[in-house]
């Protein structure tokens, strides 16, 4: 099961340790965060202890006004569960009794000056991305006219060379050869492995550093994939779509992505065709479909 180490969450958010035992290696398996108000009130029947616990101003002030004996009872039961961590947000004071029972059960406790809702949002966004479904695909990912394009095709079909021409035209590289794809917020976010970040391999030349050759404006760290371009060798026996009537999709991690198949042969300007495919995709997003316009004109001519 995929998980995030507590130390990674600590490093990302900058929360300050109050009690963080070195021999405890907490793992977080869910991006969900809980504010344990009901637990402070003594209700543990439906306690999502596997989540990171965040006490904000309301929970902290409620707990502060409890009787000392009740506080001990609640904290003893609270930390008896294997919670990943308790974070006291909004610059609220961490009471000694909380630290006492945290030490008894070795439950990590942190504090933060960040407002509760903001801290929760930061953690959820981080954990969702870190725990997202992930796959590594062979291909090239670029941003073309603001559209995330994944170039696919068999080896030596010319993906990198086509991508290089697109970069030379002012578009931006995300990843070459190996593309890490994560399912985030219902979409597909593409990134590059750290080892090959802003690098590209061109047969006959070798490894190119796109950032240094074209400047920082020629690369992107991440990009949502919106369009798949499948490059394939021209087949004279195959009937290719000539008017855009066939809508094809590629399924990646359960998400269907619009797909355009482009046959490759000498004399075809593949980079220009990809630019037009990206522009055409944007047109459709804005509600304009050239095929529908063509069909209306055709039917009007037939009627007349």
List the catalytic residues. 138, 159, 177, 242
Using DSSP's 3-state secondary structure scheme, residue 96 falls into helix
Burial class (CB in 10 A: 0-12, 13-18, 19+), 47: middle
Residue with tokens 């371009």: 229
Residue 66 gets which letter from DSSP? S
N- to C-terminal Cα separation, the chain: 65
CA-closest candidate to residue 100, choices 124, 130, 72: 72
Instruction: Give the whole-angstrom CA distance, residue 197 versus residue 200.
Output: 9
- The closest of 3, 36, 1, 33 to 15, measured between CA atoms, is 33
| Closest among 227, 158, 65 to 176, alpha carbons compared | 158
Question: Which residue's structure tokens are 């070459």?
Answer: 176
Rg (CA), the chain: 27
CA distance 136 to 182: 9
**Beta strand 134-144 pairing with 27-28:** unpaired
Q: Is 246 helix (H, G, I), strand (E, B) or coil?
A: coil
**Residues 276, 145: Cα–Cα separation, whole Å:** 10
Q: Which neighbouring-strand residues pair with 148?
A: 143
Q: Is residue 37 a contact partner of residue 60, using CB atoms and an 8 Å limit? A: no
The one-character DSSP state at 112 is -
Name 281's Cβ contacts closer than 8 Å, sequence gap at least 6.
Answer: 147, 226, 227, 258
């Amino acid at each position: 099961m995929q998980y995030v180490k507590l130390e990674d969450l600590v490093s990302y958010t900058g929360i300050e340790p109050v009690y963080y035992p070195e021999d405890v290696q907490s793992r977080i398996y869910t991006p969900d965060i809980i504010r344990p108000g009901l637990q402070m009130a003594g209700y543990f029947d439906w306690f999502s202890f596997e989540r990171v616990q965040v006490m904000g101003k309301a929970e902290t002030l409620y707990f502060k006004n409890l009787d000392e004996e009740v506080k001990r009872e609640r904290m003893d039961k609270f930390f008896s569960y294997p919670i990943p961590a308790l974070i006291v947000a909004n610059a609220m004071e961490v009471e000694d009794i909380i630290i006492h029972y945290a030490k008894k059960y070795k439950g990590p406790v942190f504090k933060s000056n960040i407002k509760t809702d903001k801290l929760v949002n930061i953690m959820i966004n981080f954990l969702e991305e870190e725990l997202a479904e992930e796959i590594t695909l062979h291909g090239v990912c670029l941003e073309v006219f603001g559209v995330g394009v994944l170039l696919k095709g068999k080896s030596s079909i010319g993906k990198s060379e086509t991508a290089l021409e697109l970069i030379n035209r002012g578009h931006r590289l995300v990843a070459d050869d190996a593309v890490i794809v994560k399912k985030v917020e219902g979409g597909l976010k593409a990134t590059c492995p750290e080892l090959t970040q802003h690098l590209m391999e061109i047969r006959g030349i070798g490894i190119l550093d796109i950032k240094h050759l074209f400047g920082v404006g020629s690369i992107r760290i991440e990009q949502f994939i919106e369009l798949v371009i499948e490059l394939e060798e021209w087949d004279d026996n195959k009937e290719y779509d000539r008017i855009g009537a066939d809508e094809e999709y590629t399924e990646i991690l359960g998400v269907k992505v619009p797909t355009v198949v482009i046959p490759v042969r000498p004399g075809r300007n593949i980079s220009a065709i990809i630019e037009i495919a990206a522009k055409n995709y944007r047109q459709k997003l804005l509600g304009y479909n050239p095929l529908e316009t063509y069909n209306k004109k055709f039917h009007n001519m037939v009627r007349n």
